[in-house]
Amino acid sequence: MKTVINIVLAVCAAALVYVCYGSIMGPINFDNTRDAREKEVIARLIDIRKAQVEYRNTHQGVYTASFDTLIDFIKTAKLPFVKKEGALTDAQLEAGMTEKKAMALINKAKKTGNWKEVEKEGLMNFKRDTMWVSVLDTIYPKGFNADSLRYVPFGNGKQFELASRQDTTKSGAPLNLFQAQTPYETYIGDLDKQQLINLKDVQSKLGKYCGLRVGDIEQPNNNAGNWE
């Protein structure tokens, strides 16, 4: 009888240790996995922001709410890249010379064949040539897969929510905003449910979005991410 009681007590003790271990390690494991996954989700959101900024620069300040449009832009659009040779000296700058004036003199000389003024200003070795480079090669590393831009890492094929807004400020100035976001459920929904509930409860009480977001269509935030 005593042996049976000892066995039962040992089992209860082991169960208690297991429960205590789970209560301690559960939140730690959840946070570690969440941190690892969020690094990849954030990296993808930053890639989206890069594309949106370049898209805006070439589309009259407007963003797009379509991943199809954004990905096609990345694959096919080209951006100007200025190859520079030579620099204006302090003396030239003090005399009022600017890069714009220098190029105007050089372009004039190219048309007329008269390089006297360019020589006089000491601009013979001053060159600014514009080259057109693809967006894909300009803002992303070699091998970047543009088609992956829309998909949330660990989201099992789910896509980011992408939105844009065109409006005007009270002063009448144009207001163009965008945001890309994904809720917690998309990339950590398969983890501990209670820990997820606790996380969302904290975020909600703080008035924060329950997930990761870059940009904001409600108010200008300089395209910041809510992790920054």
Integer Cα distance of 90 and 129 in angstroms: 22
Integer Cα distance of 146 and 51 in angstroms: 10
* Amino acid residing at 31: D
- pTM comes to 0.76
Q: Which residues contact 121 (CB under 8 A, 6 or more apart)?
A: 92, 97, 102, 105
Domain residue limits, the chain: 31-77+142-215, 79-137
**Greatest CA separation found in the chain?**
114
Per-residue confidence (pLDDT) for residue 18, from 0 to 100? 46
Integer Cα distance of 90 and 164 in angstroms: 45
How many CB atoms sit inside 10 A of residue 204's CB? 11
Per-residue confidence (pLDDT) for residue 129, from 0 to 100? 84
- Of 124, 122, 146, the C-alpha closest to 134 is 146
User: Token match 């990761």: residue?
Assistant: 212
Between CA 55 and CA 148, with CA 38 as vertex, the angle to 5 degrees is 45
The model's pLDDT over 185-221, given as tens digits with 9 standing for 90+, comes to 999 999 999 999 999 999 999 999 999 999 999 999 9
The confidence band for 23, taking pLDDT boundaries of 50, 70 and 90, is: low
- Mean pLDDT for all residues in the chain: 89
The model's pLDDT over 85-133, given as tens digits with 9 standing for 90+, comes to 899 999 999 999 999 999 999 999 999 999 999 999 999 999 888 888 8
Residues 161-173, buried b or exposed e (16+ Cβ, 10 A)? ebebbeeeeeeee
Contact 57, 73 (CB under 8 A): no
